[in-house]
Structure 1
Amino acid sequence: MRLPLSALFAAAGPLFAAAPALALTALTGTAFGAGLTEPTYVLQHLLGLIAIGLWAGQNGGVAVWQVPAAALTALAAAGLAARYGVRLPYAGPGLAGSLLVMGGLVALGLRVPAVAAVLVAALAAVFHGYAQEGAWAFLGGFLAGSGLMVCAGLGLAGALAQGVSPRAVQMCGGGVALAGLLDLLGTF
């Protein structure tokens, strides 16, 4: 059964209009809570991590778990490296570039062998993790929140592909790629 796109937007509408819950303010008062919510507050992280999940869902097979696992491992390693003073040149443009690349891969619907998908997703995640050099609790929360965003992308890929069409997943990727391009141009 295919759901019309208008029904999907009508169902998601209340989620976008909802006011923040009071429990969220209590959660973000801690380092873990601040890290947990960081991937949803920073648009580059939100889009990039969801794009990683979308691409994993598009690739299917073992990529469904290997791509997210590799991305989260690379994200954690980059966050730890930044915490201990390792510098990554061009980290800002790299973050925008990761949106452009991951969004472009989703938009094109490019399916690659699992090894290549793991490497690309891990490289993209390095730029997201490197930006986080907070306390241990913050890094743990950021890793947990990032995992949730990647899983959200994975679920979105499945829901859109089955409920609407695989083309809807590609359109989401095009939006992420466009955001990455605008970020690179400094207009985002």
Structure 2
Amino acid sequence: MTHLLRAGTALIALLGLSGLAEAHTGVHLMAADGFAAGFVHPFSGLDHLLAMVAVGLWAWSLGGAARWIVPASFVALLACGAVLGASGISLPAVEPMIALSVIALGVLVALSVRVPTLAAAAAVALFGLFHGFAHGAEMPALAQPLAYGAGFVVATALLHGIGLALGATLPRFAPAPSLRLAGGAIAATGVALALPL
């Protein structure tokens, strides 16, 4: 029970870091530049935060090599998308795709969907491209691009790791369908975030 309480407290604290704000392209959330600004960015929007944790949760449920291939594919396309966003290239439907990623990843976790590792990696990579585009487009004008990029890549990997850790620990200290409930909560939050769109 103590472990469950600690995990719940950590999750609440993590969600609190997001400020319950949705990250939107064109909005600069802090004046700082470099690594710190990049690191904070994925925590600045509940949509980014939940999608990245959900990637870890789903990767954990898939098991085996998917536990590192799936998050790595998200991070790889995140970096590519950031380059596109920072360069001013247009990418259609960024915000709807980010909202869709939260819903879809939540549903995949909630339904414990099992697909081949490469299919899962391709799906999350597509979402990573759009999340990365938003990160790149929101880079502060005076930011050092490599340091800023390194910041949000590290933060993204950390959030995937949190998802993997929750995937490993929730079933041990919570009711059996805890991962499915977490996925359902993520999907429902994604729907709520998408409503204003």
> Considering the TM-score relative to the shorter chain, is it more than 0.5?
yes
Give 1:58-137 correspondences, 5 Å limit. Answer: 58-133=61-136, 134=139, 135=143, 136=145, 137=147
Instruction: Report which of the two has the higher share of helix.
Output: 1
Return the alpha-carbon distance in structure 1 between the equivalents of residues 157 and 7 of structure 2.
Answer: 24
CA contact (8 A) 2:104 2:187 kept: yes
Question: CA-atom RMSD, angstroms?
Answer: 2.4
| Other-structure match for 1:163 | 173
Q: Tell me if the contact between 1:33 and 1:141 (Cα under 8 Å) persists in the aligned partners.
A: yes
Q: CA deviation at 1:148?
A: 0.4
How many Å separate the matches in 2 of 1:17 and 1:101?
24
1:9 aligns with one of 5, 8, 13: 5
Aligned residue pairs total 176
CA–CA separation in structure 2 for the residues paired with 1:58 and 1:17? 24
Change (3 A) 1:89 1:62: same
* 1:78 to 1:10, Cα distance in 2 relative to 1, 3 A: closer
1: CA distance, partners of 2:186 / 2:45: 14
- The question of whether the paired residues in 2 share the 8 Å contact of 1:75 and 1:122 is answered with yes
1:98 and 1:127 in contact (8 A); partners too: no
Counterpart CA distance in 2 for 1:142 and 1:169 is 26
CA contact (8 A) 1:79 1:131 kept: yes
- The amino acid of 2:148's aligned partner reads F
Shift of 1:10: 5.3
- Which segments of 5 or more consecutive residues in structure 2 lack a partner in the other structure? 18-30
What do residues 105-140 of structure 1 show as CA deviations (whole Å, max 9, x unaligned)?
Answer: 000001111011101111111221110122412121
Distance of 2:56 and 2:122 partners within structure 1: 14
What is the percent sequence identity of the aligned residues? 35
Q: Given the alignment of the two structures, is residue 174 of structure 1 paired with residue 184 of structure 2, yes or no?
A: yes
Q: Which runs of 5+ in 1 are unaligned?
A: 21-27
